[in-house]
Every structure is written in structure tokens, then in C-alpha cells.
């Protein structure tokens, strides 16, 4: 433990509590609020939000200690109620517990997604989508433009092309599937009382779990369609020097040996995660544009 963190930590080794904080005293700019509490309580303090005990780390040394020196202890993420209410959504990289499934998924993702498509194929895909974005902007010259919408669409097109080799030629399918992606993002971000009072998860008072299940049922239908189309396009893509991630995944499953932990459900959850992670994290919708 570094000196700064040690001084702020009582002898018992448990972080000093920040007594006044409760759900009702949280401020919308949570990072600034926590920074203010850290000035009073030190770089390592705990607080209760609902019945959950949370720990805030706010110095580079404290963060390094937890996420680097003891990364295995802190490796697991705590899924939100929208995810715990629906187990199949937990099979991807983000929520899989640290272990064999997570390690195998990560290895396959790095191999097939990040380096599998071929650099030249990826470059030409990016060029094509940036040109399309510029053409869309030109077509609206003189009119107000929703920049977030333009950037989200471009990122979404790049990702779906990398994952499935592009969505169905039928434009409606792409629009409908995007509604599913946006629905999942909305449910993940919706304030949910079960996140702060986990005993309420099974009651699903706000229906977030039920709505997530409906979104996933719709996703299942598109998934079957995209897998079927992707299989048909696979050979053609390979001839062009690129290979969609889906092709790589199907090959991994075909080569699968008895003890391999991955199934199609893992890839289905992973694909959704990569689209959500690749669109909403880098380009979050600003509060004013919603
Ligand atoms: C500005 C861009 C981004 C930011 C700020 C960001 C932030 C993060 C953070 C903080 C984590 C958790 C890391 C941890 O707990 O150790 C994470 C994990 C993850 N992100 Fe991103 N991300 C970004 C872009 C992306 C993109 C473009 C994708 C997909 C194409 C993506 C997919 C993922 C996935 C799959 C994980 C889980 C990784 C694992 O468990 O091994 N992210 N991201």
C-alpha cells in the first residue's frame, strides 16, 4: 500500500467510510462529487449506495494497486441487474468471471477480431465508411446535423461489417437491428432500483429484466439470419483478403474439441458487447441530444 493510501486507511485495513453519502445525496456529476469526498476522506474510502458497499479509489497509486498489482482479485465485474436478470447476456467478455471462459474468449477475440480481418481489408472498410459519412454530410449542406447520429452510424456500420461482413442487403433489417442495439444500450443505462437493492432483482420492479429478455429474443431472430447470410458470403470475403469475425468464430466452433468451453451463446453475447462497447463507449449520446 503506498504512503498516501496508508495514511488515509485506518489500522484495521478497511477503507475509511464516507458517512454522509447516500443515494439521495449523489450528484449528477458523480466523478466531481467523488473527487470532493476524496479531498475530505482520502484517496480510498467506502460508501453505501442502497444496500451496496462501494469503494472509491481516487489516486493513481490506489488505482494502480487494485487494478495492476492485485488485478486478479479485482478482475471480476459486478453485472448490473439488467444483465443478472437475464443470464444469457452474461456469456460475453465483459461479464464472464475471470477464468478459462474469459481467457479463451479474450484470446479468440484478439486473434480473430483485432488481427483476423487483414489490415488492408480493414483499411478499405474504414475508408468506405468515412466516405459514406462525408457523403451524408454533403447531402445535408446548410442544414443542422446531429453529429452524434452521424458518428454512431459510422461506428455501427464499421463494427457490423467487421463482425458479420455487413448486414443484410435489406435496409430495413439494418434499421430494425439497430433498434435492438439501441434498446440494449438504453436498458443498460436505465436507472434501476435493483442495482442498489440486489434483493429486489427477482421482483424486477421496473421491468428492466423482462424488457432485456424481449430485446434478446429479437436479437436471436437476427442472429440466425446474419449467421446464415454470413456463411454464404464467407468464401467471397476470404477471396477479397478479409474475413468477418463471424467466419472466424464458426471455424473455432467447428474445430472445437470436447473440453473447449466456448459455445455459440458466448459469441452471441460477445458480438452484442462489441457493438455496444464500440459505439456507445467511445461516442456516448450527450444528454442534450436524447
Ligand atoms: C474511447 C473508447 C473506449 C473506452 C473509454 C472504453 C472503456 C473501457 C473500460 C474502462 C473497460 C473496462 C476495463 C477493465 O475493467 O479492466 C472496457 C472493457 C471493454 N471494452 Fe471498451 N472502451 C472503449 C472502446 C471500446 C471499443 C471500440 C470496443 C469494441 C470494439 C470495446 C469493447 C470492450 C470490451 C469487449 C471490454 C471487456 C474486455 C475484457 O473483459 O477483457 N471498447 N472498455
- DSSP notation for 172-218: HHHHHHHHHHHHHHHHHHS--HHHH-GGGGGG-TT-HHHHHHHHHHH
Q: Which atom of ligand 1 is nearest to the CA of 92?
A: 35
Q: Whose CA is nearest to atom 30 of ligand 1?
A: 278
The secondary element (H helix, E strand) that includes residue 46 is strand 44-49
Which residues face 48 on adjacent strands?
53
Residue 270 burial (C-beta neighbours within 10 Å; 0-12, 13-18, 19+): buried
Ligand 1 pocket, 278 CB below 6 A? yes
Answer whether 273 contacts ligand 1 (Cβ < 6 A). Answer: yes
Q: 277 C-alpha to center of ligand 1: Å?
A: 6
Residue 259 Cβ inside 6 Å of ligand 1? The answer reads no
| Spatial separation of the C-alpha atoms in residues 41 and 153, rounded to whole Å | 43
* Minimum CA distance residue for ligand 1 atom 28: 278
Pure H helices in the chain: 3-7, 30-41, 60-64, 81-84, 100-108, 119-139, 147-164, 171-189, 193-196, 208-239, 245-254, 264-279
Question: Residues 106, 114, 175, 207: what is their CA dihedral angle, to the nearest 10 degrees?
Answer: 20
Assess contact for 187 and 211: CB atoms under 8 A.
Answer: yes
Secondary structure in 3-state letters for 169-180: CCHHHHHHHHHH
Domains of the chain: 3-74 (no CATH), 87-289 (1.10.630.10)
CB–CB of 89/266 below 8 Å?
no
pLDDT, residue 290, reads 42
Residue 54: helix, strand or coil by DSSP? strand
- Residue 145: burial class (beta carbons within 10 Å; 0-12, 13-18, 19+): exposed
Under DSSP, the state recorded for 115 is S
User: Nearest CA to 57 among 34, 32, 33, 30?
Assistant: 34
Closest Cα to atom 32, ligand 1: which residue? 277
72 lines ligand 1 (CB under 6 A): no
Task: Report pLDDT for 280.
Answer: 83
- Output the pLDDT for position 112: 79
The CB-side HSE value for 91 (13 A sphere, CA atoms) comes to 17
Name the residue with the closest Cα to ligand 1, atom 42: 277
Residue written as cell 464467407? 234
Q: Which residues pair with 53 in a beta bridge?
A: 48
For the chain, the straight-line distance linking the first and the last C-alpha, in angstroms and rounded, comes to 43
CA of 96 to the centre of ligand 1 (A): 14
Q: Specify the pLDDT at position 288.
A: 45
Cβ contacts of 58 within 8 Å, gap of 6 or more: 34, 35, 38, 43, 44
- pLDDT at residue number 208: 93
pLDDT tens for each residue of the chain, 290 residues long: 555 555 555 445 555 555 456 777 788 888 899 999 899 889 999 888 899 988 999 999 999 999 999 999 999 998 999 998 778 888 999 999 999 999 999 998 888 777 655 667 778 888 998 999 999 999 999 999 988 888 888 888 888 888 887 666 666 677 888 899 999 999 999 999 999 999 999 999 999 999 999 999 999 998 888 887 776 666 666 555 556 788 888 888 888 776 778 888 999 999 999 999 988 877 777 654 44
Amino acid at each position: 500500500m503506498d504512503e498516501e493510501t496508508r495514511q488515509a486507511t485506518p489500522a484495521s485495513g478497511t477503507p475509511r467510510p464516507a458517512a454522509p453519502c447516500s443515494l439521495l445525496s449523489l450528484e449528477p456529476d458523480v466523478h466531481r462529487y467523488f473527487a470532493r469526498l476524496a479531498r475530505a476522506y482520502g484517496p480510498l474510502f467506502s460508501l453505501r449506495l442502497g444496500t451496496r458497499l462501494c469503494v472509491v479509489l481516487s489516486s493513481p497509486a490506489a488505482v494502480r494497486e487494485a487494478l495492476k498489482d492485485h488485478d486478479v482479485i479485482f478482475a471480476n465485474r459486478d453485472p448490473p441487474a439488467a444483465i443478472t436478470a437475464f443470464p444469457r447476456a452474461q456469456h460475453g467478455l465483459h461479464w464472464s468471471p475471470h477464468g478459462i471462459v474469459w481467457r479463451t474468449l479474450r484470446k479468440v477475440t484478439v486473434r480473430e477480431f483485432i488481427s483476423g480481418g487483414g489490415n488492408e481489408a480493414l483499411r478499405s472498410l474504414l475508408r468506405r465508411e468515412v466516405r459514406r459519412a462525408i457523403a451524408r454530410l454533403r447531402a445535408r449542406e446548410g442544414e443542422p446535423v446531429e453529429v452524434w447520429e452521424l458518428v454512431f452510424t459510422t461506428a455501427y456500420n464499421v463494427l457490423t461489417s467487421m463482425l458479420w461482413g455487413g448486414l443484410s442487403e435489406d435496409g430495413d433489417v439494418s434499421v430494425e437491428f439497430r433498434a435492438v442495439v439501441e434498446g440494449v444500450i438504453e436498458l443498460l443505462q436505465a436507472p434501476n432500483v435493483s442495482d442498489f437493492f440486489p434483493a429486489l432483482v427477482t421482483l424486477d420492479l421496473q421491468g428492466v429484466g423482462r424488457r432485456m429478455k424481449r430485446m434478446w429474443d429479437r436479437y436471436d431472430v437476427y442472429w440466425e439470419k446474419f449467421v446464415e447470410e454470413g456463411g454464404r458470403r464467407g468464401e467471397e470475403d476470404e477471396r477479397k483478403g478479409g474475413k468477418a469475425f463471424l467466419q472466424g468464430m464458426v471455424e473455432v466452433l467447428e474445430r472445437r474439441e470436447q473440453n473447449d468451453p466456448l459455445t455459440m451463446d458466448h459469441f452471441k453475447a460477445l458480438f452484442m458487447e462489441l457493438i455496444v462497447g464500440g459505439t456507445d463507449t467511445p461516442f456516448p449520446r450527450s444528454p442534450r441530444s436524447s
